[in-house]
A = this chain, B = another copy of it.
Amino acid sequence: MQEVRTILLSKSVFEDNDRAADKLRRDLREKGVSLVNVMSSPGSGKTTLLIALIRRLALKFRIGVMEADIDSDVDAVTVARETGCRSVQLHTGGMCHLDAGMTAEGLRELGDGLDLIFLENVGNLVCPAEYDTGATANIVILSVPEGADKPLKYPLVFQKSDLVIVSKTDALPYFDFDMEQCRKYIGARNGAAEMIPVSAKTGENMDALENWFIRKII
């Protein structure tokens, strides 16, 4: 297994995060690199879903992963072990989000020669949505056990996302989750966002999710 490096991020030197994010996004587009910022609550199954998705996409693209976490490095090690793809762990040192400067620092560590990079942001539906990371696409994962009302309660992250993945659909028989109501709540926040319900466990709709990436990747 490859070694997984852990980086303790320092506070960004950029005064203006939006400007730094726009510059980073332009640089990525010029190089033909897609950077996908993945946001969600803690425990939404982000890492499990990413592993299932990367196993499919790695047949077509050179993929890297940056795992942001406050403290532990379990995710980066798991992703590297399960997918074999290049992976770095970003420690935020207690900070609740990543900004563009921190993202750029992670990208330097990850190195060149990749087509698609996943940034697994800190598990938090609030703060990560407030800081543009410079990603070329933003995704939010909402898991079935969390409930369909989350777009009402955490509006910004749904407004900022190009795709809402409703994860753990295998748990639908067990929870009172109204998928059509969820679709309406998302539509009210963001008419342009797509919604794809999936289960990494059973594989349900993983084809549709894979196709979304194939369409969107630069």
Contact = CB atoms under 8 A, between A and B. Distances in A.
A203 interface: no
Contacts of A94: 130, 156
A43 B130 contact: no
Interface in A35-58: 41-43
Contact of A96 (B41, B69, B127, B145): B127
B153 A42 contact: yes
Identify the interface centre among A69, A74, A125, A155: most chain B CB within 10 Å of its CB: A125
A130 B171 CA distance: 33
Contacts of A154: 42, 70, 123
A83 interface: no
Interface in A115-133: 122-127, 130
A191 interface: no
Q: What 9 A-B pairs are tightest by C-beta distance, nearest first?
A: A43-B146, A145-B145, A96-B126, A72-B152, A41-B42, A41-B41, A96-B127, A42-B125, A43-B147
Interface of A: 41-43, 69-72, 74, 94, 96, 122-127, 130, 143, 145-147, 149-150, 152-156, 168, 171, 174-175
